[in-house]
Amino acid sequence: MIQRDYLIIGGGIAGGSVCESIRKFDKRGSVTLAGAETFHPYKRWMLSKAFLRDKTPAVKKLSQLEPAWYDAHKIETRLGALVTQLNIERRLAVLGNGETIEFNKACLAMGSRPVRPPVAGVGLGNVIYLRTTRDALALREMASLEKTVAVIGGGLLACEVASSLRQMKFKISMMHRNAYLLNRYLDPETGAWLTSYFEKHGVALLMGESLNGFEGKTVLRNIQTKSGNRVAAGVAVVACGAEPNLELVRNTPLSGPHGSPVSEYLETEEKGIYAVGDLAFYPDRMMGGVRRQTHWENAREQGLVAGANMTGKKRIRYEQIPYFWTEMFDLRMDFVGDFSVQPTRVELRGTYAKKKFAARYYQGDRLRALLLCQAAPREIESARTELRTALGK
């Protein structure tokens, strides 16, 4: 049996950050990172942006830390190694190859997987769920052969993929059940502006349409909407959200309806077992309430906090103002704060026409979030400071 001081389950950016932080505070403890993918932790957010658009995409450009870093810091990486069983009481993890690891402390960092809509044809060839480098490379190849791509969804990933593919000169259509894009985050006026921006860049939009199914014998030929429309497409990219990978801990205290419940220190109720990134359902000390986030910045910061806490050399609360960003065509938009509830009032400074603005989102008289378009780094920091002041933090 293999014995380790620390076991990190999941090879995404959250898991990699946990390793980085452990080594900062504990130079000697034995560490194993087990990840299902065959690559070291990488910048997954690039898959829908630069990596997809690159003429010669290179996986090594995605690395968060060079693979040699793990060897140099004596971190064992089990890549392509899925943890299939976890015994919480005995502190044992079983890998897909049958090996067993006994651990003192562990961190759950399994991330999330794309939601597959419950419709016919989801398994057809040329229906892509963009999550891994293999998915991105397959999408590039299929799109170059078929030329006509339909993107299902209107969230961040859907908008980024549609933008990237359109910049690559493919014929793109988007189907979204809401009236405007990024409706989870934007107010109606800003959402309408962004939607028209996509239209002006040649993206064919089917707004207010719901997916009914994919048609084809072995590969995709048409997409059917619930209203009865048929859209011809050689490739479909499904971006309808993500759900946490909690099967390993299902029916245990480490799994809940909204994720893996953790304390402000990112520790589950099982002492010595932590959860980070897309899994962690954490108390938000800055904005209030409890939330789960699926953004890269969140996974990175939580990994650093959990790794420090696991060593026992530090005791750090996770208290970050929620933050994420996106690129679409020539736009960069930064989101600072809580966008989970539609604002009761929006204060816009700047103009949509010049593609340079800041929108402040209020709940009553309380500032809850700032949306920045084409902002400089100092403006993003100023937004964080402004929100902290408004929250009295």
pLDDT single digits (tens) 212-229 = 999 999 999 999 999 998
Domain 2-112+243-311, architecture per CATH? 3-Layer(bba) Sandwich (3.50)
pLDDT single digits (tens) 178-222 = 999 999 999 999 999 999 999 999 999 999 999 999 999 999 999
Amino acid at 86: L
* CB-based contact 153:161 (threshold 8 Å): no
CATH number, domain 330-391, options 3.40.50.1980, 3.30.390.30, 3.40.718.10, 3.40.50.1370: 3.30.390.30
Token pair for residue 110? 């399994």
pLDDT of residue 212: 95
pLDDT-based confidence at residue 1 (cuts at 50, 70, 90): confident
55-69, 150-164, 314-328: range with lowest mean pLDDT = 55-69
Q: What is the CA radius of gyration of the chain?
A: 22
Q: State CA 370 to chain mean position distance.
A: 20
Length in residues, the chain: 393
| Closest among 292, 293, 318, 291 to 307, alpha carbons compared | 318
Full-model pTM: 0.94
* CB-based contact 31:74 (threshold 8 Å): yes
pLDDT single digits (tens) 267-306 = 999 999 999 999 999 999 999 999 999 999 999 999 999 9
* CB-based contact 39:81 (threshold 8 Å): no
Distance CA(230)–CA(223), nearest Å, equals: 6
Q: DSSP for 252-279?
A: STT-BTTBEE--TTSB-SSTTEEE-GGG
Q: Write out the residue limits of the CATH 3.30.390.30 domain(s) in the chain.
A: 330-391
pLDDT of residue 284: 94
Q: Write out the residue limits of the CATH 3.50.50.60 domain(s) in the chain.
A: 2-112+243-311, 116-238
Please tell me the CATH code under which domain 116-238 is placed.
3.50.50.60
pLDDT for 103 beyond 90 = yes
pLDDT for 327 beyond 90 = yes
